[in-house]
Amino acid sequence: MKKYFAEMVGTFVLVFGGVGSAVLAGTHIGYLGVAFAFGLSLLAMVYTIGPISGCHINPAVTLGVVLARKIGIKDATMYVIAQIIGAVIAAALILAIARGVPGGYDASVAGLGANGFGNHSPGHFSMQAAFLGEVILTMFLVITVLGATDVKAPVGFAGLAIGLVLTLIHLVGIPITNTSVNPARSIGPALFVGGWAIQQLWLFIVAPLIGAAIAAGIYSVLRTPDELITTRQAERALGSQSAERREARRA
């Protein structure tokens, strides 16, 4: 259960740090600050819970890892449930804090950092533009996760690569949709905003999952397969080792 709990905690930190920065400090730090808040939150969690659960903290990443055959369906299902719970708790606490300002805070009016398109897009981008943007940006994230965490990747640098690519993704995506690339991140705020956020939520579930599937497919083509040896080669290697041991004993 520790890895499921780790996914819940990690997603909580990501959503509270990222969405919280937009809701509670957005007028002070702007898009650049919010982008870095998401990237730094993810970077910190990669090094904190990565050794425990792999630090997916995103159903789209979990799907990509499943398609790459690095995790089983049972664990993936539990990861997604834990991620959504963590996101909902984070959104609830952000709302509780936001209501502490003079005059209160109405999530249905102010938006609570929910993702949207059309009139609910920061730049009033269309549904088609939002869908395409979410697919492409999620592909960026998932292919980076798969590559940076590969056994052949440089050890110790995965967090930097993943955190920085999420920052890049938000720099591009905030004007389009407030940037989702993570169904759990979208579900959390949408539940408290209701109305339009729930009606548009489908896009921020479907598009990231498609992007993740595309990323897994691309990575399967790009990745250099592990070196395989035949049974005969293995037998020869073992025979050579045995001969070396015999020579060592004689010496």
Tokens of 55: 């630090």
> For 47-100, how does the pLDDT look when each residue is reduced to its tens digit (9 = 90+)?
999 999 999 999 999 999 999 999 999 999 999 999 999 999 999 999 999 999
What is the CATH class of 2-250? mainly alpha
Write down the domain spans for the chain: 2-250
Q: Is the pTM of this model over 0.75?
A: yes
Q: Record the tokens describing residue 21, joined without a space.
A: 């920065």
Q: Angle, nearest 10°, between helix axes 73-98 and 59-67?
A: 170
Q: pLDDT tens, 177-209?
A: 999 999 999 999 999 999 999 999 999 999 999
**What are the pLDDT digits (tens) for 214-235?**
999 999 999 876 554 455 654 5
Task: Find, among 239, 221, 241, 219, the residue nearest to 231 by Cα.
Answer: 239
